[in-house]
Amino acid sequence: MSEATAPATPRGARLSRSARRAQLLVAARDVFAAQGYHAAAMDAIAEKAGVSKPVLYQHFPGKLELYRALLTTYADELVDRVQKAIVATANNEERVHAAVSAYFDFVAGEGHAYRLVFESDLRGEPEAAAVVDGALTRCIDTVASAVTTDAGMDAARARLLAVGLVGLSQVAAQYWLDSDQDVPRDEAVALMSSLAWRGLAGFPLVHD
């Protein structure tokens, strides 16, 4: 369970600092997802969390710091999903399927976390943009490393393929969610991973 998926806690309950922080991030996620960064107010977040504003400010000195913490939590979650997908198997076809699936799982997660990462109205803020760009870079690095090792490619070509797979996965997963999921999730993942694999399969393992 990540910081931003902690269960709700009754008002007035005594929590450890880490548990309280997780509770505040859940409340912030819900308010930011519903209202956007600029319209959201710290008052509304404190009320959603069932705490006073001074308690909220004990953990986060301002709205921007709270948003960055939430954004970092979800960005790290996405990277973790992709990294686990790549290292879970040595079979490249299964890796492609798992990587695509990781993006679909992320966009379909609770609280519309992906909107906070990819569709935020704060993307123009340099530090927020750096968090998102850093997460995408780490995802690309993970895929590129596997392609370099298994296909014997040089770094530049492996990275270009990795950008393609990450971009395909992200855009397709967002489109799938926004199109009311007309195609069942498992079928959508199979379609997109098949599209990606039929291209990547043209680059054989170096020991084949």
| Each residue's pLDDT tens digit, 101-129 | 999 999 888 657 888 888 777 777 888 88
Give me the chain's average pLDDT, please.
85
Structure tokens given for 63: 């709205």
Mean of the pLDDT values across residues 67-89? 92
Please check the confidence at residue 152 and state whether its pLDDT lies above 90. no
| Each residue's pLDDT tens digit, 27-44 | 999 999 888 888 999 999
The helix or strand, by DSSP H or E, that contains position 171, with its residue range, turns out to be: helix 155-178
Mean of the pLDDT values across residues 66-90? 92
CA atoms within 13 A on the CB side of 79: 18
Q: If you count them, how many residues does the chain have?
A: 208
Q: What is the pLDDT of residue 13?
A: 56
Out of 52-66, 119-133, 162-176, least confident range: 119-133
Which domains, ranges and CATH numbers included, belong to the chain?
A: 3-61 (1.10.10.60), 70-200 (1.10.357.10)
Provide the 8-state DSSP code for 41. Answer: -
Measured in whole angstroms, the distance separating CA 176 from the mean position of its chain's CA atoms is 16
Q: What is the pLDDT of residue 5?
A: 56
pLDDT-derived band at 200, boundaries 50, 70, 90: low
Q: What is the pLDDT of residue 182?
A: 86
Mean of the pLDDT values across residues 138-144? 93
Q: What is the percent of the chain where pLDDT is above 70?
A: 88
- Quick one: 16 exposed, middle or buried, by C-beta within 10 A (0-12, 13-18, 19+)? exposed
Q: What is the pLDDT of residue 3?
A: 57
**pLDDT greater at residue 202 or residue 101:** 101
C-alpha dihedral, 186 to 187 to 193 to 199, nearest 10°: 170
